[in-house]
Amino acid sequence: MNFYLPLEEWTNTFVNDWLLPTVGGFFGRLSDGIETVVEGLTDFLIWLPPLLITVILIALTLWLAGKGIAVFTLIGCIYLGSVELWPEAMMTVAIIIVATLLSVVFGVPLGILASKSEVINRIIRPVLDFMQTLPSFVYLIPAILLFGLGGVPAVISTFIFATPPSVRMTNLGIRQVPTDITEASKAFGSTSWQMLLKVELPMSLQTIMAGVNQTIMLALSMAVIASMIGAPGLGSTVLSGISNVNVGLGLTGGLGIVVLAIIIDRITQGIGDKL
Amino acid sequence: MSKIDVHKLTKIFGPSPKKGLELLNQSKSKDEILTETGMTVGVNQASFSVEEGEIFVIMGLSGSGKSTLIRLLNRLIDPTFGQVWIDDEDITQATNEQLIETRRKKLGMVFQRFGLFPFRTVLANVAYGLEIQGMDKSEREEKALQAIEDVGLKGYEKSYPDQLSGGMQQRVGLARALANETDILLMDEAFSALDPLIRQEMQDELLQLQSKWNKTVVFITHDLDEALKLGDRIAIMKDGTIVQIGTAEQILESPANDYVSRFVEDVDRSKVLTASHIMKHPTVLASEKDGPRVAVRKMEDEGVSSIFVVDRERHLQGLLTIDDAIDAYKKGVEMKTVLVSNFHTTTPDTPIQDLIASAVDTKYPITVLNEGKLEGIVSRVSILSGLVLGKEEETTA
């Protein structure tokens, strides 16, 4: 006896006959919105003089992460300029910034909800596992169908892949606030909002920042995959290196991603430690 | 009407507290309910009332439900059954808004682990309760400063909790509760995390502050000595049930059951009882009128081998042994010349503990002197019986 589950047909029918006609318009507008933001930000970053960005980054790393990283930042920026990948780097940064903002805007409140409600926590956990472990190529396809090619589906798929740490770490951070402190807050007559804003969020800020840091790192690691659906930036440099068997091009683009990753990681970690 | 009135307050932890409640009403024990249903009875039908200005101590070992009980009073834990009346308001029936209002205006709380906000300065910690009520900054900081001064932390307003010692942190905790100007203070093992010296200091200060503030205090502790020192009345808890409520004397003298008496046995009587508790008023000789003959007669009557001699104002002159008295009688010398003074003296408020050493190396009783006057004597026997039995009724005032 042979049992066949027609998941493939179902999915296709669902996507083609219902999802696209019904919500396509909505996604179209969403797509336009995200596109405007991503392109605006990209243009702005490319328009800014590289020297200015370099100086700002060095100042930030000096303040937040120490001299060693500041020197590394200088070398890294010189590297990006001298291999002529500066505009690509800025495109990648723009996509990461937008995706990370989306992740934080959705992830942190979701994490707060999950920390407050066992029901929500139980629902969210498998969803997060799903988002993190499902091979990203699987949702690249519907992302293309819904959002077309380019930066927008890249932002969306990066958002899906990179949000879980923000949710998880926010949830963890709030759950880890010692009971005597939440009890004290309650005993003096705090409302739930006051307790959240004045006690729980300040107490868990470091953990939340660690989650945001992880979100950014995951977003960077999506750069190459996202370039397969037409996202511009360092990822597409690496991709064309791969497809042309051009080892040198692949390495220059790959090193660019590493440089960005280290600088952004140290800066966001530094922010977390300062809190 | 009492300040706090607690009636049949019950908390059952578990999936179906209602069923546990039924079992309790069938007077099943905590253990029976645990084995039958897997549910834990935290507090079992506790009833008591606390008068205004009273320090009411709830004492029990860990797991006795005392921390649960105090949290039921301000509903940090919601009760399964029972009422808590605070100033004529049953807070178990209060809406969320009413509850928040009651906590803000009427119930201050101090925690065992302090519960301070580490990212706030001392000042901001103390002002927290007022801040969430929406009081403006200058006003709340003024009140907070006053509270900080009251607990003796002036000058530390700008410090952060982790820069302070444990004792100082708990002062911040106390100041935070005082700043709200609530009538009631709930203190959950407030001094248990402090080392013994600081702890005594804090107890003394609490008593001193209490004489100034006259708050209604509910104080949780696992330490009977602390309970005896602080409590106007003490409730002793076991397995979620209050087994006895009474003043320190009532609990020491007539423990309600074996559990309480075992507790009371542990009290270090040698620290609590003083010489005045166990001394006896001796038969004495008046040096002016009595001669050796009378001395020998009195010693015969009392069945003792020595007697103390005092003057008209009861100032102690010395000790007369029966041998010396007979000698003096035979030789016809004055009694004064044969008095000995190789006995120990002490004061009425010396703890028995300090008398033990003296009692060991002397064959005569220890005399208790108050400004030179003989108040009483303490024999070795009465020290031992004081330690073992604490029979205060044997002492005479």
**Chain A CB within 8 Å of residue B115 CB:** yes
- Are the Cβ atoms of A189 and B112 closer than 8 angstroms? no
CATH topology of domain B51-268: Rossmann fold (3.40.50)
**Residue-range domain boundaries for chain B:** 51-268, 275-394
- Are the Cβ atoms of B109 and A203 closer than 8 angstroms? no
- Are the Cβ atoms of A185 and B128 closer than 8 angstroms? yes
CATH topology of domain B275-394: CBS-domain (3.10.580)
Residues in A closer than 8 angstroms to B111, CB to CB, are: 180, 183-184
> Which chain B residue's Cα is nearest to A201?
B119
**Chain A CB within 8 Å of residue B111 CB:** yes
H or E element that contains A25: helix A20-47
Residues in A closer than 8 angstroms to B115, CB to CB, are: 178, 180-181, 183-184
Q: What is the pLDDT of residue B299?
A: 81
- Are the Cβ atoms of A183 and B108 closer than 8 angstroms? no
> Which chain A residue's Cα is nearest to B100?
A189
Q: Which residues of chain A have pLDDT under 70?
A: 1
State pLDDT tens for residues A25-72: 787 888 888 888 988 999 999 999 999 999 999 999 999 888 999 999
Please name which of B82, B87, B91 lies closest in space to residue B3, comparing C-alpha atoms: B87
Pairing of strands B81-86, B4-13: antiparallel
HSE-CB of B369 using CA atoms within 13 angstroms: 17
Q: What is the pLDDT of residue B169?
A: 93
Query: What is the phi/psi pair of residue A67, to 5°?
Result: -65, -45
State pLDDT tens for residues B191-229: 988 888 888 888 988 888 888 888 999 999 988 888 888
Check pLDDT > 50 for residue B395: no
Residue B85 to residue A247: CA distance in whole angstroms: 79
Residues from A in contact with B at Cβ < 8 Å: 178, 180-181, 183-191, 194, 198-199, 202-203
Structural domains of chain A, ranges and CATH numbers in brackets: 16-274 (1.10.3720.10)
Q: What is the number of other CB atoms lying within 10 angstroms of the CB of residue A88? A: 25
State pLDDT tens for residues B117-134: 999 999 999 999 999 999
One fold for both B51-268 and B275-394? no
Q: What is the pLDDT of residue B122?
A: 94
Cβ(B47)–Cβ(B8) under 8 Å? yes
**High-pLDDT (> 70) share of chain B, %:** 93
**Chain A CB within 8 Å of residue B187 CB:** no
Residue A271 to residue A269: CA distance in whole angstroms: 5
B387 pLDDT band (50/70/90 cuts)?
Answer: low
> Which chain A residue's Cα is nearest to B182?
A188
In this prediction, residues B22-35 reach a mean pLDDT of 84
Q: What is the pLDDT of residue B148?
A: 93
Residue B60 to residue B79: CA distance in whole angstroms: 19
**High-pLDDT (> 90) share of chain B, %:** 36
Closest CB from A180, A194, A203 relative to B111: A180
**Torsion, CA B250, CA B253, CA B256, CA B257, rounded to 10:** 160
- Are the Cβ atoms of A185 and B107 closer than 8 angstroms? no
Residues in A closer than 8 angstroms to B107, CB to CB, are: 187
Mutate to test the interface with B, among A183, A188, A200 (most CBs of B within 10 A): A188
* Long-range contacts formed by A196-202: CB under 8 A, 24+ apart: A196/A112, A198/B128, A198/B131, A198/B132, A199/B117, A200/A174, A201/A174, A202/B117, A202/B119
Mutate to test the interface with A, among B68, B73, B75, B76 (most CBs of A within 10 A): B76
Q: What is the pLDDT of residue A33?
A: 86
**Chain A CB within 8 Å of residue B116 CB:** yes
Most confidently modeled range among B88-97, B297-306, B320-329: B88-97
B344 pLDDT band (50/70/90 cuts)?
Answer: confident
- Are the Cβ atoms of B113 and A178 closer than 8 angstroms? yes
User: Left (φ > 0), alpha (ψ -120 to 50) or beta: where does A155 sit?
Assistant: alpha
Q: What is the pLDDT of residue B391?
A: 42
Distance from CA of A111 to the nearest CA of B (A): 22
- Are the Cβ atoms of B118 and A203 closer than 8 angstroms? yes
Distance from CA of A182 to the nearest CA of B (A): 8
**Chain A CB within 8 Å of residue B161 CB:** no
Distance from CA of B78 to the nearest CA of A (A): 13
Check pLDDT > 50 for residue B6: yes
Closest CB from B71, B103, B119 relative to A188: B103
- Are the Cβ atoms of B132 and A184 closer than 8 angstroms? no
Question: What's the whole-number average pLDDT of chain B?
Answer: 84
* Long-range contacts formed by B291-294: CB under 8 A, 24+ apart: B291/B329, B291/B335, B292/B325, B292/B326, B292/B328, B292/B329, B292/B335, B293/B329
In this prediction, residues B282-290 reach a mean pLDDT of 70
Q: What is the pLDDT of residue B393?
A: 41
